[in-house]
Amino acid sequence: MDLSVRWLAFAGIVLVSCFSPLSSQAELSPLAPEPDWGALDAFQETMTREEFVHWINALFSPDGSFWKFTVINGNEVTLFGDKEHTRLLYRLRLAPDLDSQIPLRATTVSGWKLSKAEATSAKPLRGLVICLDPGHIGGPWAKMEGRFFQIGSDPPVLEAELNMRAARHAAKLLESAGATVVWTKRLFEPVTALRPERLREEALASLYPAGGATSVPASFSAELERRVVREEQVLFYRNAEIRARAELVAKLNPDLTLCIHFNADKWSSNPTRAELIPQSRLVVFVHGNYSEEELTYDDQKWDLLWKLLSRISIPEAEAGESIAKQMEATWTFPPESYANWSAARRVGPNPYVFARNLLANRIYRGPVVFVEGPYMNARDSYERIIAGDYEGTKIIGGQAYRSIFAEYGEILARGVTAWVAGPTSTVVNH
Protein backbone atom coordinates (compact mmCIF):
# COMPACT_ATOMS: atom_id res chain seq x y z
CA MET A 1 0.00 0.00 0.00
CA ASP A 2 1.53 3.34 -0.98
CA LEU A 3 1.36 6.33 1.29
CA SER A 4 -1.52 8.11 -0.44
CA VAL A 5 -3.71 5.00 -0.34
CA ARG A 6 -2.85 4.53 3.31
CA TRP A 7 -3.74 8.16 3.99
CA LEU A 8 -7.06 7.76 2.17
CA ALA A 9 -7.82 4.65 4.17
CA PHE A 10 -7.01 6.55 7.36
CA ALA A 11 -9.20 9.46 6.24
CA GLY A 12 -11.97 7.00 5.49
CA ILE A 13 -11.84 5.65 9.01
CA VAL A 14 -12.00 9.17 10.42
CA LEU A 15 -14.93 10.03 8.16
CA VAL A 16 -16.81 6.88 9.09
CA SER A 17 -16.30 7.45 12.79
CA CYS A 18 -17.40 11.11 12.52
CA PHE A 19 -20.68 10.24 10.86
CA SER A 20 -21.42 6.86 12.36
CA PRO A 21 -24.29 6.70 14.88
CA LEU A 22 -21.79 5.55 17.53
CA SER A 23 -20.18 8.96 17.75
CA SER A 24 -23.49 10.83 18.00
CA GLN A 25 -26.27 9.71 20.30
CA ALA A 26 -27.49 6.43 18.90
CA GLU A 27 -30.76 5.56 20.55
CA LEU A 28 -30.92 1.85 21.32
CA SER A 29 -33.69 -0.21 22.93
CA PRO A 30 -32.72 -1.78 26.29
CA LEU A 31 -30.11 -4.57 25.84
CA ALA A 32 -30.11 -4.12 22.05
CA PRO A 33 -26.81 -4.49 20.23
CA GLU A 34 -25.56 -1.75 17.88
CA PRO A 35 -27.19 -2.44 14.49
CA ASP A 36 -24.95 -3.57 11.62
CA TRP A 37 -26.05 -1.16 8.89
CA GLY A 38 -23.63 -2.70 6.39
CA ALA A 39 -25.60 -5.95 6.56
CA LEU A 40 -28.46 -4.17 4.78
CA ASP A 41 -26.23 -3.60 1.73
CA ALA A 42 -27.32 -7.05 0.51
CA PHE A 43 -30.73 -5.46 -0.17
CA GLN A 44 -29.59 -2.54 -2.34
CA GLU A 45 -31.78 -2.27 -5.45
CA THR A 46 -33.66 -5.48 -4.60
CA MET A 47 -37.06 -3.78 -4.25
CA THR A 48 -38.97 -1.16 -6.20
CA ARG A 49 -40.05 2.10 -4.63
CA GLU A 50 -43.68 1.08 -5.15
CA GLU A 51 -43.25 -2.17 -3.21
CA PHE A 52 -41.24 -0.50 -0.44
CA VAL A 53 -43.88 2.20 0.09
CA HIS A 54 -46.62 -0.42 0.04
CA TRP A 55 -45.00 -2.47 2.84
CA ILE A 56 -44.38 0.60 5.00
CA ASN A 57 -47.93 1.93 4.65
CA ALA A 58 -49.80 -1.39 4.80
CA LEU A 59 -47.84 -3.27 7.46
CA PHE A 60 -44.81 -1.73 9.14
CA SER A 61 -45.90 1.82 9.78
CA PRO A 62 -49.59 2.32 8.94
CA ASP A 63 -49.70 5.49 11.10
CA GLY A 64 -46.94 7.03 8.98
CA SER A 65 -44.31 7.35 11.74
CA PHE A 66 -41.58 5.79 9.60
CA TRP A 67 -41.77 8.65 7.09
CA LYS A 68 -40.87 11.17 9.82
CA PHE A 69 -37.38 9.66 9.97
CA THR A 70 -36.84 9.43 6.21
CA VAL A 71 -36.52 11.32 2.97
CA ILE A 72 -37.39 9.61 -0.31
CA ASN A 73 -35.72 11.19 -3.27
CA GLY A 74 -36.32 9.40 -6.56
CA ASN A 75 -35.28 5.83 -5.87
CA GLU A 76 -33.26 6.55 -2.77
CA VAL A 77 -34.51 6.32 0.81
CA THR A 78 -32.40 8.24 3.32
CA LEU A 79 -32.98 7.10 6.89
CA PHE A 80 -32.18 9.35 9.83
CA GLY A 81 -31.88 8.61 13.52
CA ASP A 82 -34.03 11.60 14.43
CA LYS A 83 -37.11 13.35 13.11
CA GLU A 84 -35.06 16.54 12.54
CA HIS A 85 -32.91 14.62 10.02
CA THR A 86 -29.58 15.60 11.59
CA ARG A 87 -28.22 12.09 12.16
CA LEU A 88 -27.79 10.07 8.98
CA LEU A 89 -28.14 6.32 9.48
CA TYR A 90 -28.44 4.68 6.09
CA ARG A 91 -29.07 5.19 2.41
CA LEU A 92 -31.11 2.54 0.66
CA ARG A 93 -31.26 2.43 -3.12
CA LEU A 94 -34.50 1.11 -4.56
CA ALA A 95 -34.85 -0.47 -7.98
CA PRO A 96 -36.22 1.92 -10.64
CA ASP A 97 -38.58 -0.81 -11.91
CA LEU A 98 -39.26 -4.54 -11.72
CA ASP A 99 -36.97 -5.27 -14.70
CA SER A 100 -33.93 -3.75 -13.03
CA GLN A 101 -34.68 -5.19 -9.57
CA ILE A 102 -31.76 -7.34 -8.37
CA PRO A 103 -32.94 -10.78 -7.12
CA LEU A 104 -32.39 -11.47 -3.42
CA ARG A 105 -29.62 -13.91 -2.65
CA ALA A 106 -31.07 -17.15 -1.22
CA THR A 107 -29.14 -16.67 2.02
CA THR A 108 -31.11 -13.54 2.84
CA VAL A 109 -34.55 -15.16 2.76
CA SER A 110 -36.18 -18.12 4.45
CA GLY A 111 -35.57 -21.44 2.73
CA TRP A 112 -39.26 -22.32 2.91
CA LYS A 113 -39.79 -22.36 -0.86
CA LEU A 114 -36.86 -24.71 -1.41
CA SER A 115 -38.08 -26.98 1.36
CA LYS A 116 -41.48 -27.36 -0.22
CA ALA A 117 -39.89 -29.18 -3.13
CA GLU A 118 -39.00 -32.16 -0.89
CA ALA A 119 -42.56 -32.80 0.29
CA THR A 120 -44.46 -35.99 -0.53
CA SER A 121 -48.14 -36.71 0.03
CA ALA A 122 -47.33 -38.97 3.00
CA LYS A 123 -44.82 -36.49 4.43
CA PRO A 124 -46.10 -33.08 3.31
CA LEU A 125 -43.72 -31.24 5.64
CA ARG A 126 -40.53 -33.08 4.70
CA GLY A 127 -37.61 -30.67 4.44
CA LEU A 128 -39.34 -28.03 6.54
CA VAL A 129 -37.69 -26.89 9.78
CA ILE A 130 -40.20 -25.61 12.35
CA CYS A 131 -38.99 -23.95 15.54
CA LEU A 132 -41.32 -24.12 18.53
CA ASP A 133 -41.05 -21.33 21.06
CA PRO A 134 -43.26 -22.11 24.06
CA GLY A 135 -43.84 -18.74 25.72
CA HIS A 136 -42.40 -17.68 29.11
CA ILE A 137 -39.94 -19.33 31.49
CA GLY A 138 -42.31 -20.85 34.03
CA GLY A 139 -41.35 -23.01 37.02
CA PRO A 140 -40.05 -20.92 39.93
CA TRP A 141 -39.99 -17.85 37.65
CA ALA A 142 -43.71 -17.89 36.79
CA LYS A 143 -44.79 -15.54 39.61
CA MET A 144 -42.08 -12.99 38.75
CA GLU A 145 -43.26 -13.14 35.13
CA GLY A 146 -46.86 -12.51 36.17
CA ARG A 147 -47.80 -15.78 34.49
CA PHE A 148 -49.26 -17.60 37.49
CA PHE A 149 -52.62 -17.61 39.22
CA GLN A 150 -54.64 -19.89 41.43
CA ILE A 151 -58.27 -19.77 42.44
CA GLY A 152 -58.85 -21.23 45.92
CA SER A 153 -57.82 -24.87 46.01
CA ASP A 154 -57.99 -25.30 42.20
CA PRO A 155 -54.77 -26.41 40.48
CA PRO A 156 -52.50 -23.39 39.85
CA VAL A 157 -52.37 -22.06 36.28
CA LEU A 158 -48.82 -21.49 34.99
CA GLU A 159 -48.93 -20.22 31.41
CA ALA A 160 -45.47 -21.61 30.56
CA GLU A 161 -46.69 -25.14 31.34
CA LEU A 162 -49.79 -24.75 29.20
CA ASN A 163 -47.72 -23.45 26.29
CA MET A 164 -45.32 -26.38 26.63
CA ARG A 165 -48.16 -28.94 26.59
CA ALA A 166 -49.59 -27.44 23.39
CA ALA A 167 -46.10 -27.33 21.85
CA ARG A 168 -45.49 -31.03 22.63
CA HIS A 169 -48.70 -32.00 20.83
CA ALA A 170 -47.77 -29.79 17.87
CA ALA A 171 -44.26 -31.30 17.73
CA LYS A 172 -45.57 -34.86 17.54
CA LEU A 173 -47.93 -34.04 14.68
CA LEU A 174 -45.44 -31.88 12.76
CA GLU A 175 -42.77 -34.59 13.01
CA SER A 176 -45.13 -37.31 11.83
CA ALA A 177 -45.89 -35.12 8.80
CA GLY A 178 -42.16 -35.06 8.03
CA ALA A 179 -41.08 -31.72 9.53
CA THR A 180 -37.90 -31.29 11.54
CA VAL A 181 -38.90 -29.71 14.85
CA VAL A 182 -36.42 -27.62 16.81
CA TRP A 183 -37.02 -25.78 20.08
CA THR A 184 -35.99 -22.56 21.76
CA LYS A 185 -36.53 -24.27 25.12
CA ARG A 186 -37.66 -27.60 26.58
CA LEU A 187 -37.40 -26.84 30.31
CA PHE A 188 -38.92 -24.38 32.77
CA GLU A 189 -35.58 -22.67 33.17
CA PRO A 190 -34.30 -19.44 31.61
CA VAL A 191 -32.52 -19.75 28.26
CA THR A 192 -30.53 -16.61 29.07
CA ALA A 193 -27.48 -16.92 31.33
CA LEU A 194 -28.25 -13.45 32.70
CA ARG A 195 -30.15 -13.03 35.97
CA PRO A 196 -32.10 -10.00 37.25
CA GLU A 197 -29.40 -8.88 39.70
CA ARG A 198 -26.86 -8.70 36.88
CA LEU A 199 -29.03 -6.18 35.03
CA ARG A 200 -28.83 -3.36 37.56
CA GLU A 201 -26.90 -0.98 35.33
CA GLU A 202 -29.37 -1.55 32.49
CA ALA A 203 -32.31 -1.16 34.88
CA LEU A 204 -30.98 2.21 36.06
CA ALA A 205 -30.35 3.26 32.46
CA SER A 206 -33.94 2.51 31.49
CA LEU A 207 -35.38 4.21 34.59
CA TYR A 208 -33.16 7.29 34.11
CA PRO A 209 -32.79 7.52 30.34
CA ALA A 210 -32.35 11.26 29.89
CA GLY A 211 -29.15 12.13 31.73
CA GLY A 212 -27.67 8.66 32.06
CA ALA A 213 -25.75 7.77 35.23
CA THR A 214 -25.54 11.39 36.46
CA SER A 215 -29.27 11.66 37.08
CA VAL A 216 -29.47 8.52 39.20
CA PRO A 217 -30.11 9.54 42.82
CA ALA A 218 -27.22 9.17 45.24
CA SER A 219 -29.27 7.21 47.75
CA PHE A 220 -32.24 4.91 47.26
CA SER A 221 -35.41 4.86 49.33
CA ALA A 222 -36.96 1.43 49.93
CA GLU A 223 -39.64 2.34 47.40
CA LEU A 224 -37.10 3.33 44.75
CA GLU A 225 -35.07 0.19 45.42
CA ARG A 226 -38.22 -1.89 44.79
CA ARG A 227 -38.73 -0.10 41.47
CA VAL A 228 -35.15 -0.79 40.39
CA VAL A 229 -35.41 -4.46 41.35
CA ARG A 230 -38.68 -4.75 39.45
CA GLU A 231 -37.07 -3.17 36.38
CA GLU A 232 -34.19 -5.68 36.63
CA GLN A 233 -36.74 -8.50 36.66
CA VAL A 234 -38.70 -7.18 33.69
CA LEU A 235 -35.48 -6.73 31.69
CA PHE A 236 -34.53 -10.30 32.59
CA TYR A 237 -37.68 -12.23 31.66
CA ARG A 238 -39.15 -9.98 28.97
CA ASN A 239 -35.96 -8.86 27.26
CA ALA A 240 -32.76 -10.83 28.02
CA GLU A 241 -34.68 -14.12 27.82
CA ILE A 242 -36.11 -13.31 24.36
CA ARG A 243 -32.70 -12.10 23.15
CA ALA A 244 -31.12 -15.40 24.24
CA ARG A 245 -33.84 -17.31 22.40
CA ALA A 246 -33.29 -15.14 19.32
CA GLU A 247 -29.64 -16.21 19.27
CA LEU A 248 -30.77 -19.83 19.25
CA VAL A 249 -33.27 -19.19 16.46
CA ALA A 250 -30.51 -17.57 14.39
CA LYS A 251 -28.37 -20.71 14.79
CA LEU A 252 -31.26 -23.12 14.12
CA ASN A 253 -32.29 -21.16 11.00
CA PRO A 254 -35.87 -22.49 10.84
CA ASP A 255 -38.31 -21.93 7.96
CA LEU A 256 -40.92 -20.83 10.49
CA THR A 257 -41.02 -20.15 14.22
CA LEU A 258 -44.23 -20.58 16.23
CA CYS A 259 -44.45 -18.59 19.46
CA ILE A 260 -47.04 -20.47 21.50
CA HIS A 261 -49.07 -18.70 24.21
CA PHE A 262 -52.36 -18.73 26.07
CA ASN A 263 -53.97 -15.35 26.49
CA ALA A 264 -55.64 -13.71 29.50
CA ASP A 265 -57.66 -10.60 30.13
CA LYS A 266 -56.88 -8.17 32.94
CA TRP A 267 -58.20 -9.06 36.37
CA SER A 268 -57.44 -8.77 40.07
CA SER A 269 -54.37 -10.12 41.87
CA ASN A 270 -56.50 -12.41 44.06
CA PRO A 271 -58.88 -13.80 41.48
CA THR A 272 -62.10 -15.63 42.22
CA ARG A 273 -64.30 -17.73 39.96
CA ALA A 274 -66.88 -14.96 39.98
CA GLU A 275 -64.37 -12.72 38.26
CA LEU A 276 -63.74 -15.04 35.31
CA ILE A 277 -64.11 -13.20 31.98
CA PRO A 278 -67.28 -14.34 30.14
CA GLN A 279 -65.68 -15.20 26.80
CA SER A 280 -62.28 -15.95 25.27
CA ARG A 281 -61.05 -14.11 22.23
CA LEU A 282 -58.36 -15.27 19.84
CA VAL A 283 -55.52 -13.56 18.02
CA VAL A 284 -52.54 -14.36 15.81
CA PHE A 285 -49.79 -11.77 15.57
CA VAL A 286 -47.57 -11.09 12.60
CA HIS A 287 -44.83 -8.49 12.78
CA GLY A 288 -45.42 -4.83 12.00
CA ASN A 289 -47.22 -1.69 13.20
CA TYR A 290 -44.26 0.18 14.73
CA SER A 291 -45.16 3.19 16.86
CA GLU A 292 -43.33 6.50 16.56
CA GLU A 293 -41.75 5.93 19.96
CA GLU A 294 -40.44 2.49 18.94
CA LEU A 295 -39.00 4.01 15.78
CA THR A 296 -36.87 6.46 17.78
CA TYR A 297 -34.64 3.46 18.51
CA ASP A 298 -32.03 2.81 15.83
CA ASP A 299 -32.03 -0.96 16.37
CA GLN A 300 -35.79 -1.06 15.72
CA LYS A 301 -35.38 0.93 12.50
CA TRP A 302 -32.79 -1.65 11.44
CA ASP A 303 -35.07 -4.54 12.39
CA LEU A 304 -37.92 -3.00 10.40
CA LEU A 305 -35.77 -2.64 7.28
CA TRP A 306 -34.36 -6.16 7.61
CA LYS A 307 -37.77 -7.73 7.98
CA LEU A 308 -39.28 -5.63 5.18
CA LEU A 309 -36.47 -6.04 2.66
CA SER A 310 -36.06 -9.79 3.24
CA ARG A 311 -39.81 -10.12 2.40
CA ILE A 312 -40.21 -12.47 5.34
CA SER A 313 -43.61 -10.89 5.95
CA ILE A 314 -45.01 -12.80 2.97
CA PRO A 315 -44.61 -16.36 4.34
CA GLU A 316 -45.26 -14.98 7.83
CA ALA A 317 -48.68 -13.64 6.82
CA GLU A 318 -49.55 -16.79 4.85
CA ALA A 319 -48.66 -19.07 7.75
CA GLY A 320 -50.38 -16.77 10.25
CA GLU A 321 -53.61 -16.69 8.25
CA SER A 322 -53.51 -20.44 7.77
CA ILE A 323 -53.16 -21.06 11.53
CA ALA A 324 -55.85 -18.46 12.28
CA LYS A 325 -58.30 -20.31 10.00
CA GLN A 326 -57.72 -23.55 11.90
CA MET A 327 -58.05 -21.78 15.23
CA GLU A 328 -61.38 -20.26 14.25
CA ALA A 329 -62.69 -23.61 12.93
CA THR A 330 -61.76 -25.50 16.13
CA TRP A 331 -62.46 -23.04 18.91
CA THR A 332 -65.09 -20.73 17.41
CA PHE A 333 -64.26 -17.89 19.85
CA PRO A 334 -64.46 -14.41 18.31
CA PRO A 335 -61.33 -12.48 17.33
CA GLU A 336 -59.86 -9.72 19.47
CA SER A 337 -60.98 -6.25 18.43
CA TYR A 338 -58.33 -4.07 20.11
CA ALA A 339 -60.53 -1.10 19.28
CA ASN A 340 -58.82 1.23 21.75
CA TRP A 341 -55.29 -0.13 21.57
CA SER A 342 -52.97 1.22 18.90
CA ALA A 343 -50.17 -1.37 19.46
CA ALA A 344 -52.09 -4.03 17.52
CA ARG A 345 -53.63 -3.42 14.11
CA ARG A 346 -55.74 -5.66 11.88
CA VAL A 347 -53.92 -6.60 8.67
CA GLY A 348 -54.77 -8.90 5.76
CA PRO A 349 -58.02 -10.72 5.00
CA ASN A 350 -58.36 -12.79 8.20
CA PRO A 351 -60.13 -11.08 11.15
CA TYR A 352 -57.93 -12.96 13.66
CA VAL A 353 -54.60 -11.67 12.31
CA PHE A 354 -53.12 -8.51 13.79
CA ALA A 355 -49.74 -6.84 13.26
CA ARG A 356 -47.79 -6.05 16.40
CA ASN A 357 -44.19 -5.13 17.07
CA LEU A 358 -43.20 -7.70 19.69
CA LEU A 359 -39.58 -8.30 20.62
CA ALA A 360 -39.84 -11.98 19.62
CA ASN A 361 -41.35 -11.45 16.18
CA ARG A 362 -38.99 -8.52 15.61
CA ILE A 363 -35.64 -10.13 16.42
CA TYR A 364 -36.17 -13.86 15.72
CA ARG A 365 -34.79 -14.35 12.22
CA GLY A 366 -37.15 -15.83 9.64
CA PRO A 367 -40.96 -15.82 9.63
CA VAL A 368 -42.55 -15.84 13.11
CA VAL A 369 -46.20 -16.55 13.88
CA PHE A 370 -47.14 -15.53 17.41
CA VAL A 371 -50.26 -17.41 18.48
CA GLU A 372 -52.41 -16.58 21.52
CA GLY A 373 -54.70 -19.41 22.62
CA PRO A 374 -57.93 -18.95 24.63
CA TYR A 375 -58.02 -16.85 27.81
CA MET A 376 -56.77 -18.74 30.83
CA ASN A 377 -59.16 -16.66 32.93
CA ALA A 378 -62.33 -17.02 30.82
CA ARG A 379 -65.37 -19.08 31.80
CA ASP A 380 -65.30 -20.92 28.46
CA SER A 381 -61.75 -22.26 28.86
CA TYR A 382 -60.68 -22.11 32.53
CA GLU A 383 -62.22 -25.47 33.47
CA ARG A 384 -60.69 -27.11 30.41
CA ILE A 385 -57.28 -25.66 31.29
CA ILE A 386 -57.28 -26.82 34.91
CA ALA A 387 -58.50 -30.26 33.73
CA GLY A 388 -54.94 -30.67 32.38
CA ASP A 389 -53.81 -32.81 29.46
CA TYR A 390 -55.51 -36.18 28.90
CA GLU A 391 -56.35 -38.71 26.19
CA GLY A 392 -59.85 -39.12 24.82
CA THR A 393 -62.58 -36.92 26.26
CA LYS A 394 -63.64 -35.63 29.66
CA ILE A 395 -67.02 -34.30 30.73
CA ILE A 396 -66.60 -30.65 31.66
CA GLY A 397 -69.69 -28.60 32.48
CA GLY A 398 -71.89 -31.39 31.10
CA GLN A 399 -70.11 -31.55 27.75
CA ALA A 400 -67.48 -33.98 26.41
CA TYR A 401 -64.23 -32.21 25.59
CA ARG A 402 -60.90 -33.35 24.23
CA SER A 403 -57.78 -31.91 25.85
CA ILE A 404 -57.50 -28.21 25.00
CA PHE A 405 -53.75 -28.75 24.59
CA ALA A 406 -54.25 -31.55 22.04
CA GLU A 407 -56.60 -29.25 20.13
CA TYR A 408 -54.04 -26.43 20.21
CA GLY A 409 -51.32 -28.75 18.88
CA GLU A 410 -53.61 -29.87 16.05
CA ILE A 411 -54.49 -26.29 15.15
CA LEU A 412 -50.80 -25.45 14.80
CA ALA A 413 -49.91 -28.59 12.82
CA ARG A 414 -52.92 -28.28 10.50
CA GLY A 415 -52.23 -24.61 9.99
CA VAL A 416 -48.61 -25.29 8.99
CA THR A 417 -49.63 -28.18 6.72
CA ALA A 418 -52.29 -26.10 4.96
CA TRP A 419 -49.78 -23.24 4.56
CA VAL A 420 -47.22 -25.53 2.94
CA ALA A 421 -49.89 -27.07 0.69
CA GLY A 422 -50.45 -23.60 -0.76
CA PRO A 423 -53.03 -20.84 -0.86
CA THR A 424 -55.66 -22.99 -2.59
CA SER A 425 -55.99 -25.39 0.34
CA THR A 426 -59.04 -25.07 2.57
CA VAL A 427 -59.62 -25.55 6.29
CA VAL A 428 -59.03 -29.15 7.37
CA ASN A 429 -62.14 -30.36 9.13
CA HIS A 430 -61.90 -32.74 12.03
Residues that bind Zn ion (CB under 5 A): 135, 261
Helices and strands (H, E) in the chain, number of each type: 14, 14
Residue 376 burial (CB < 10 Å; 0-12/13-18/19+)?
Answer: buried
Nearer to Zn ion, 162 or 228 (CB): 162
Give the Cβ contact number of residue 205 at 10 Å: 17
Nearer to Zn ion, 135 or 367 (CB): 135
Nearer to Zn ion, 242 or 418 (CB): 242
Residue 191 beta carbon to Zn ion: minimum distance, rounded to whole angstroms: 15
Residue 232 beta carbon to Zn ion: minimum distance, rounded to whole angstroms: 21
Nearer to Zn ion, 135 or 138 (CB): 135
Grouping H, G, I as helix, E, B as strand and the rest as coil, residue 391 is coil
Residue nearest to Zn ion (CB): 261
Nearer to Zn ion, 81 or 135 (CB): 135
Q: In Å, how far are 118, 354, 361 from 316, measured between CA atoms?
A: 20, 12, 10
Residue 56 beta carbon to Zn ion: minimum distance, rounded to whole angstroms: 29
Nearer to Zn ion, 87 or 136 (CB): 136
What is the DSSP code (8-state) at residue 378?
Answer: B
What one-letter code names the amino acid at 283? V
- Sign for the CA dihedral angle at 401, 379, 285, 130 comes to negative
Residue 261 beta carbon to Zn ion: minimum distance, rounded to whole angstroms: 3
Q: In Å, how far are 107, 112, 115, 122, 252 from 118, measured between CA atoms?
A: 19, 11, 6, 11, 19
Contact 125, 248 (CB under 8 A): no
What is the DSSP code (8-state) at residue 317?
Answer: H
Residue 262 beta carbon to Zn ion: minimum distance, rounded to whole angstroms: 6
Nearer to Zn ion, 109 or 137 (CB): 137
Q: Which of 419, 415, 315, 294 is nearest to 362 (CA)?
A: 294
CA triplet 144, 145, 146: central angle to 5 degrees? 90
Nearer to Zn ion, 162 or 308 (CB): 162
Give the Cβ contact number of residue 281 at 10 Å: 18
Nearer to Zn ion, 146 or 388 (CB): 146
Nearer to Zn ion, 371 or 413 (CB): 371
Residue 216 burial (CB < 10 Å; 0-12/13-18/19+)?
Answer: middle
Residue 320 beta carbon to Zn ion: minimum distance, rounded to whole angstroms: 17
Residue 213 beta carbon to Zn ion: minimum distance, rounded to whole angstroms: 34
Residue 55 beta carbon to Zn ion: minimum distance, rounded to whole angstroms: 28
Residue 260 beta carbon to Zn ion: minimum distance, rounded to whole angstroms: 9
Residues 6+ apart with CB under 8 A from 49: 72, 75, 94, 95
Q: In Å, how far are 185, 286, 328, 405 from 427, measured between CA atoms?
A: 30, 20, 10, 19
Residue 65 beta carbon to Zn ion: minimum distance, rounded to whole angstroms: 26
Q: What is the CA radius of gyration of the chain?
A: 23
